[in-house]
């Protein structure tokens, strides 16, 4: 399986604050709030026994809000109480892996790990005459719930090869179980089609069901 996935997160709740005091700039606080983040990633996976194992990688970005607050007078410029804000954008990369499994028709759940490096944002606060550098990397564990649309014109549920399969358990001898399995297989609900729209696959299945039913009656009898 190969696909492309995009995500966006807002409002952000990742924030960090630091306090610095020196004779040249006085006492100041710096805060960095990630207001929004997202990524555009490729996803390459392999489906095995209705489980999908995949790796993912791509481009990651953030929109930040940096704030500098002068707590005491700055001998070089800004007076106490001065607040300056900047809104830099970061660009970086992300990589991870995950596993996805079916719940019910159309619905799957997944567990995913992502490591993201958003690089360094550099801004200058003009009133204080100071540059501020901030780097950011994150590690995330995500739990997701997915809804898959049906493909094609049929009415079969989504999930493809991930869809749970119904199986009939029978503890009787095989010559008694065979006609029961045939009857259950032929009785599963299917979308009704007008006779003129039925293809070779539908007609072949009907013929196979009749043959299995006759064989079952002969075996039991």
Which one-letter DSSP state was computed for residue 195? G
Q: How far apart, in whole angstroms, are the C-alpha atoms of residue 130 and residue 120?
A: 16
| Same domain flag for 54 and 110 | yes
Our CA dihedral for 117, 119, 125, 128, rounded to 10 degrees, sits at 90
Picking from 118, 147, 176, the residue at the C-terminal end of a domain is 147
| Same domain flag for 123 and 21 | yes
- What is the number of other CB atoms lying within 10 angstroms of the CB of residue 125? 22
Question: How high is the pLDDT of residue 221?
Answer: 42
Residue 113 located in a structural domain: yes
Q: Which two tokens stand for residue 208?
A: 């196979």
Total domain count, the chain: 2
| Same domain flag for 37 and 133 | yes
Query: Which tens digits make up the pLDDT trace of 159-191?
Result: 655 544 444 455 556 655 565 555 545 444 444
What are the φ and ψ backbone dihedral angles of 112, each rounded to 5 degrees?
-140, 140
Residue 63 located in a structural domain: yes
Mean pLDDT of 75-91: 87
Query: Which tens digits make up the pLDDT trace of 11-61?
Result: 888 888 989 888 888 899 999 999 999 999 999 999 988 899 999 999 999
Pick the more confident residue, 126 or 77: 126
Residue 129 located in a structural domain: yes
- What is the number of other CB atoms lying within 10 angstroms of the CB of residue 139? 9
Q: Is the pLDDT of residue 92 over 90?
A: yes
All residues at 6 or more sequence positions from 196 whose CB lies less than 8 Å from its CB, including other chains? none
| Same domain flag for 142 and 172 | no
Q: Which two tokens stand for residue 192?
A: 């009704």
Which one-letter DSSP state was computed for residue 79? P
Host domain of residue 187: 166-220
Residue 87 located in a structural domain: yes
Residue 73 located in a structural domain: yes
Task: Yes or no: say if 182 and 212 are a contact pair by the CB < 8 Å rule.
Answer: yes
| Same domain flag for 130 and 184 | no
User: What are the C-alpha distances in Å from 220 to residues 32, 169, 209, 211, 215?
Assistant: 77, 19, 16, 14, 9
Residue 44 located in a structural domain: yes
| Same domain flag for 72 and 131 | yes
Q: How far apart, in whole angstroms, are the C-alpha atoms of residue 30 and residue 18?
A: 5
What CATH number did the domain enclosing 105 receive?
2.40.160
């Amino acid at each position: 399986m190969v696909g492309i996935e995009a995500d966006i997160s807002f409002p952000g709740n990742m924030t960090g604050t630091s306090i610095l005091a020196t004779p040249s700039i006085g006492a100041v606080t710096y805060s960095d709030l990630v207001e929004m983040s997202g990524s555009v990633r490729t996803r390459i996976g392999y489906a095995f026994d209705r489980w999908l194992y995949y790796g993912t990688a791509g481009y990651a970005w953030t929109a930040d809000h940096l704030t500098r607050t002068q707590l005491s007078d700055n001998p070089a410029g800004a007076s106490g109480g001065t607040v300056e804000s900047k809104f830099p954008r970061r660009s970086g990369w992300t990589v991870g892996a995950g596993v996805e499994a079916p719940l019910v028709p159309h619905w799957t759940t997944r567990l995913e790990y992502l490591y993201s490096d958003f690089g360094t944002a550099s801004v200058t606060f003009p009133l204080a005459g100071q540059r501020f550098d901030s780097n950011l990397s994150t590690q995330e564990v995500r739990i997701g719930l997915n809804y898959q649309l049906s493909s094609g014109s049929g009415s079969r549920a989504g999930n493809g090869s991930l869809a749970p399969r119904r199986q009939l358990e029978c503890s009787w001898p095989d010559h008694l179980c065979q006609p029961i399995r045939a009857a259950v297989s032929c009785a599963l609900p299917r979308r009704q089609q007008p006779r003129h729209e039925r293809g070779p696959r539908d007609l072949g299945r009907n013929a196979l069901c009749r043959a299995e039913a006759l064989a079952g009656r002969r075996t039991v009898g």
